[in-house]
Chain A
Amino acid sequence: MTTATPSPTSATPALLRPVFPRRPSRNRVVISLARHLSLLLVLVVVLYPLLWMAGASVRPSNEAFGTLGLWPSNFTLENYATGWSYGSLNFSRYFVNSLVISVLCIIGNVVSCSLAAYAFARLEFPFKRVMFALMLGTLLLPYHVTLVPQYVLFNNLAWINTILPLTVPKFLATDAFFIFLMVQFIRTLPRELDDAARLDGCGHVGIFRRVILPLSLPALGTTALFTFIRTWDDFLGPLLYLNDPAKWTVTQGLNGFLDATGESAFGPLFAMATLSLAPIVGFFLVAQKLLIEGIATSGLK
């Protein structure tokens, strides 16, 4: 086809050349440039609030809301210094607390949801379909419905003011979304591999450990990432169950800067909020390859 479309420059003098060629360019570089440019434009729009927050975090606190621009005229790192241990707040501790809870939740979700998913995808047992439907049904329950009963339950277990209400449920495969995600993924794995493993003497545990788990890495990575983001961002859970300031998480610490009935400290708030995003971005960069594979192969939308 290259012969049929001479490049416009060779056929017309430069002055007469239309600004937009009538036919879309076939030049790969041009196409790719245009695509990247439009993606970059979208990215700027999407990132603007984040960049604004980062910009506001290096402005003096009382100028935080003064401008829509990104670059601070009075650059200062004071917000970071004051925010880290503002008043009775102690972000070293909150970051550790959040991290401990997040790691436990990730372990819990990855282990328990993959086991449950294996059962639904590969085992035959009575009422399997009904139970699968029930499991999916829990996705439709708004959390408001279970909030109070859960609190009563954990209170009766004497778990208030511990991280147990936030972590133990994850070890019991309560996140239906991730079970579903992994069921879908495991179903795409060829059963022949299971059969081959069985011939080699593997039971279900062996098949799960030696065949399914290694092949499900993308789904596990997706589960880990989403669990991390959800747990790291969770505010209501810690608010209800962690009352002792020494056990607060980062989100509670951030809330500690705000007070609708008194003084709020927005500069330090933005500084700490910017910092609190770092682990999420870091985790995403590390798990990105797995995540994209997980989305591509499980049909997750």
Chain B
Amino acid sequence: MMSPHTRPRRRALGLVAGAATFTLVLTACSGGTRVGETTQESAAPEASGAEAGLGDVEGTLRIAYWGSGPRVDLTNGVSDLFVAENPGVTVEPESADFAAYFERLNVQGSSGNLPCVPQMQGRQLASYATQGALMDLDPLIESGAITVPDIPEEVIDTGRGPDGGLYFIPYGAAYDAVEINATLAEQAGVGLPEEGYTWEDFGEYITEAQGSLPEGIAAANLGGGLPNYFIAWTQARGEEMFEDDQIAFSEETLAEFWTFWEDLRNAGATSTAQQRAEEPPQTEQRYVAQGKVMLDSVPGNALTPGQATLSGLAPGQELTTVAMPSGEGGSGNVLFTSGWAISANCDNVPTAAAFIDFWANNDEAAALFASNNGGVTNTRHLQQQLDNPELPALKKHELELYQQVIEAKPPTVSYPAGYQANFETAFNRAYETVSLGGTSPEDAAAAFIAEVNAAFGAQ
């Protein structure tokens, strides 16, 4: 009898051979991209003296940004303008929602496969800059490959990493604002806070409004877990947020911030801790856009979509935004800029530089993009957009408030590596131990600072 193994073994060999061929064929005709293979070699010649970033503008340029729907169209529209001006260039865009975008960028970054021109924001910058994933752009500005005559110095500085190197050129600057349901505020007889109001005024304003608001509507959304409120709190006191990758504000500052919100919450002037904990993050689902609270802190550009939602749910009610509270230490308003960086593994630096330069200076591109991702940083473009009679009223308000913020010389906050992962989520959690768990603000502040400093130290 024939051994039962002989035939199958031969067939098995055939199968393996077949599978191997299949894989080889796939590899050969896949037509896929492999980027970053020349990471080490190509990174070397850039940034050398006076010619840094200068050269032929041609070839393929991979760019990546966050955004959806309208912003994708606008960003790709600007790319088309760039291509029209530079024949021979192909722009390959990659986009995703903010959270998904950074999830992907993390993986790409750790694999040496970053897009040539990734979009960056100050809060994430350090995580990439300290890993050597991004190129220092100062030499490119010196050589003239990128020109930024119309962007204010303090705005450019928001693109600097912890080592002082310039890692992205901000094209749009978002600011946080206090969004107020003006209709409700009018009904409650409190109107709007006056320009330059302090945190103390803010607390009184909320308490006073609560007295005459309809049943079931809180004057303010509970804000103790919102890092951006706290940043405004420290800036108003003239304190630094971070220094040498550690927390620089004092325990008392944080404890007083949480006490401020706890007092309001206990007085019934805010949404409850439970309501706040289950609030979804999308602009349209926020309580202030739903007409459930009178005010909340939101990004300045959330006004238009927020109003669209409110108009559907509570017709006739109007939202507006005012600057964040300030104090003796200065303006509480900081900028959250978005801009373009060049990755260290980019093998087409001249084109990348030209692309960034185009965003920073081209009038047509700025008019098309119309400050879709924060107010345009180029002051000439900002004036052009404000002068445009077709600018929608809410957008005009957003840009005017932005101009007001800029004129107050906003302080720059430099975020340590791992800020988003270690600080932002922990901040809300720490406040929840106060608002939901009953820990005292002092204890929670001490525990939070120790925890975050340890996490930063481990970066």
CA distance A254 to B105 in the complex (A): 19
CA distance A198 to B2 in the complex (A): 11
Residue of A whose beta carbon sits closest to that of B10: A203
User: Number of B residues contacting the other chain (C-beta, 8 Å)?
Assistant: 62
CA distance A262 to B95 in the complex (A): 14
B93 within 8 A of A: yes
A72 within 8 A of B: no
Chain A 146-173 interface residues, beta-carbon cutoff 8 Å to B: 147-148, 151-152, 155-162, 164, 168, 171-172
Q: Are B76 and A155 in contact (CB under 8 A)?
A: no
CA distance A150 to B337 in the complex (A): 33
Q: Give me the interface of B with A, judged by CB distance under 8 Å.
A: 4, 7-8, 11, 19, 22-23, 26-27, 30-37, 64, 66-73, 76, 92-100, 103-104, 107-108, 110-113, 174, 281-285, 290, 299, 301, 304-305, 308-309, 311-313, 372-373
Q: Are B284 and A245 in contact (CB under 8 A)?
A: no
Residue of A whose beta carbon sits closest to that of B27: A157
Q: Are A162 and B73 in contact (CB under 8 A)?
A: no
A204 within 8 A of B: yes
Q: Are B96 and A239 in contact (CB under 8 A)?
A: yes
Cβ of B67: which chain A residues have Cβ within 8 Å of it?
A: 259, 261-262
Stretch at the interface among A38-46, A213-221, A263-271, A279-287: A263-271
Q: Which of A236, A262, A266 contacts B71 (CB 8 A)?
A: A262
Q: Are A65 and B285 in contact (CB under 8 A)?
A: yes
A87 in contact with B103 given A62-B312, A66-B313, A157-B27 (CB within 8 Å):
no
Q: Which of B34, B95, B283 contacts A158 (CB 8 A)?
A: B34
The B contact surface, by secondary structure, is helix
Cβ of B73: which chain A residues have Cβ within 8 Å of it?
A: 87-88
Cβ of B301: which chain A residues have Cβ within 8 Å of it?
A: 261-262
A155 in contact with B309 given A255-B97, A260-B98, A262-B67 (CB within 8 Å):
no
CA distance A89 to B95 in the complex (A): 12
Chain A-chain B contacts (Cβ-Cβ < 8 Å), number:
167
Q: Are A259 and B31 in contact (CB under 8 A)?
A: no
Cβ of A168: which chain B residues have Cβ within 8 Å of it?
A: 23, 26
A240 in contact with B107 given A263-B305, A265-B69 (CB within 8 Å):
yes
Q: Are B34 and A203 in contact (CB under 8 A)?
A: no
Q: Are A259 and B71 in contact (CB under 8 A)?
A: yes
CA distance A100 to B103 in the complex (A): 25
Q: Are B34 and A65 in contact (CB under 8 A)?
A: no
A259 in contact with B69 given A236-B103, A243-B94 (CB within 8 Å):
yes
A-B CB proximity, top 3 nearest: A62-B312, A158-B34, A259-B68
CA distance A168 to B285 in the complex (A): 40
Say how far B424's CB is from chain A's closest CB, in angstroms. Answer: 13
Q: Which of B34, B76, B100, B305 contacts A239 (CB 8 A)?
A: B100
Q: Are A266 and B372 in contact (CB under 8 A)?
A: no
Q: Which of B68, B71, B92 contacts A244 (CB 8 A)?
A: B92
CA distance A201 to B93 in the complex (A): 59
Q: What would be 27 A-B contacts, judged by CB atoms less than 8 Å apart?
A: A60-B312, A62-B284, A62-B311, A65-B313, A89-B69, A147-B107, A151-B110, A155-B35, A157-B32, A158-B33, A159-B30, A204-B4, A204-B7, A205-B7, A205-B8, A235-B100, A240-B107, A243-B94, A255-B97, A258-B68, A259-B66, A260-B98, A261-B67, A262-B70, A264-B282, A264-B305, A265-B69
